[in-house]
Structure 1
Amino acid sequence: MQTANLAQVSAQYGLTLLSHFDAKQHLSAELQEQYPWAQSIALVGQGAQGYWPVFSQSAEYLDGAANPIDRWSQRLGDDIAHRFDGQALYPFTGPPYWPFLSWAAAAGDTATSRLGMHLHRHYGLWHSYRFALLLPNPMPAAVDVDKYQAPCDNCAKPCLTPCPVDAFAKPGEYQVAKCRTYVRDNPQSACYTQGCQARLACPEGQGSHEQAQHQYHMQVFARG
């Protein structure tokens, strides 16, 4: 029941319950000592679409201040954690920086792609973690199937050809500076106006973000 309730509450804000698992198996000794009551961890964030229409109407987005997504995420995370008698942890408040990607991979819901970014079993490259919830009640395993395996080895890898600067030419290495320079200097390019062409070419997952979100993130990325 808690799983369904948490998913429903998250969906009200355009967010998705991306993974959940046993805290005792995956929390570090430090976190177990700090939160001995925690029985489960839920990873909440964005999966493909639905988030942008909500966030873009938020006070944090509209006030023009810095870090609107982080501030919005922290407000919602704290509120949802309070509703479920839990504790929210964030990927942007470190150090220490919590191992969100390791948690998701250990739970069997993600795997590393050829681009270096993690693929989610349902949302492919189009997911992001806004917060984790430590919860006082156990939750069933998020999946009853085999651990997710990235399909990249058996894929034609269309993701490797669209990038105009070959920012992903080396496996597992993303040449950020080269990518940012191109996006910044070419505001009429498909990369700037539509989003990362390499990510968009990946056939895995249930679609990408709304167009307005692609543009927002690329504008922020170009500014550095």
Structure 2
Amino acid sequence: MTGILERSMIDAIATALFAHALILRGGFNFAGGEETPPGLSGAAARSILLVGQAGAAPWPHFLRWKESQSRTIADPLDIWSREVIGAAAKKFGARAVSPSDRPYLPFQQWGMRAEGLRPSPLGILMHPQYGLWHAYRGALLFEDEIALQEPRGVIHLCDTCLEKPCLKSCPVDAYSADGFAHETCLVHVRGQNGAPCRTGGCLDRNACPYGTDYRYPPEVQAFHMAAFARL
């Protein structure tokens, strides 16, 4: 049997991450017999803590780090996230993983399990407080179990939204019941009429009425849109 990662250790991890405005986004123990990624030693992980952000809180920390890097650095936010979460993993005996790792890990499924969230019509998980303005930046895998209860009774705000403005604001109807028309969106964002999306972010996402206090500022949305379009 492995040990139990106590609440005091989880609190210490949260404190270390909060210095960079990252937060723990829940966690859970993998079920017995469940196929899991390896932990630090290479043995199967027994538990996971998700790391992410609420709103754009980490942005100033990221910008200070970015100023010291090469101007040509690719995927800087991923690199910064890996460094910060990797340092926490080293300090607390975990293995750090990232949403951009290949092969891709099931971060969305992990988020649904850890926080009880469900996808919005845009595919982004809807959070009862943050709305669509949150993200997972990585996760810590442990070979011990953790002392956390799984969430219960989380309200899915999309069920209360009758108008669904998130499906009515995109000029090229990139989101529909058929899913996300990636190529259609990409062509529009890169084109002459895509300036509002490039400078202010996805119009459908911005139309969501929930979590507006956490909405990313335009410069943050422009950063993410440029990464999406590789502009």
Q: TM class, shorter-chain normalised?
A: 0.7 to 0.9
- C-alpha deviation, 1:137, in angstroms: 5.1
Partners in 2 of 1:214 and 1:26 — Cα distance? 41
Partners in 2 of 1:3 and 1:125 — Cα distance? 26
Give me the TM-score of the superposition, normalised by structure 1: 0.85
1:204 aligns with 2:207: no
Partners in 2 of 1:107 and 1:9 — Cα distance? 20
Q: Secondary structure at the match of 2:146?
A: coil
- C-alpha deviation, 1:18, in angstroms: 1.4
Matches within 5 A, 1:116-195: 116-135=123-142, 136=144, 138-141=146-149, 143=151, 145-146=152-153, 148-155=154-161, 156-168=163-175, 170-171=176-177, 173-186=179-192, 189-195=195-201
Partners in 2 of 1:199 and 1:217 — Cα distance? 13
Equivalent residue in structure 1 for 2:13, among 2, 6, 17: 6
Q: Which moved more, 1:185-194 or 1:173-182?
A: 185-194
Matches within 5 A, 1:97-112: 97-112=104-119
Task: Figure out how many residues of one structure are paired with residues of the other and give that number.
Answer: 219
Q: Which ranges of structure 2 fall in alignment gaps of 5 or more residues?
A: 1-7
Partners in 1 of 2:206 and 2:57 — Cα distance? 17
Contact 1:101 1:118 in 2 (8 A): yes
Q: What are the superposed Cα offsets for residues 77-116 of structure 1, whole Å, 9 maximum, x if unpaired?
A: 2111011111111221212x21111111123432011122
Amino acid at match of 1:77: I
Q: Secondary structure at the match of 2:77?
A: helix
Cα pair distance change 1:125/1:26, threshold 3 Å:
farther
Contact 2:50 2:136 in 1 (8 A): yes
Partners in 1 of 2:32 and 2:115 — Cα distance? 13
Partners in 2 of 1:151 and 1:202 — Cα distance? 10
Per the alignment, residue 3 of structure 2 pairs with none
Equivalent residue in structure 1 for 2:50, among 23, 43, 53: 43
Equivalent residue in structure 2 for 1:16, among 12, 23, 37: 23
- C-alpha deviation, 1:213, in angstroms: 0.9
Cα pair distance change 1:142/1:62, threshold 3 Å:
farther
- C-alpha deviation, 1:188, in angstroms: 7.0
Contact 1:109 1:121 in 2 (8 A): no
Give me the TM-score of the superposition, normalised by structure 2: 0.83
Partners in 1 of 2:128 and 2:218 — Cα distance? 22
Partners in 2 of 1:209 and 1:91 — Cα distance? 20
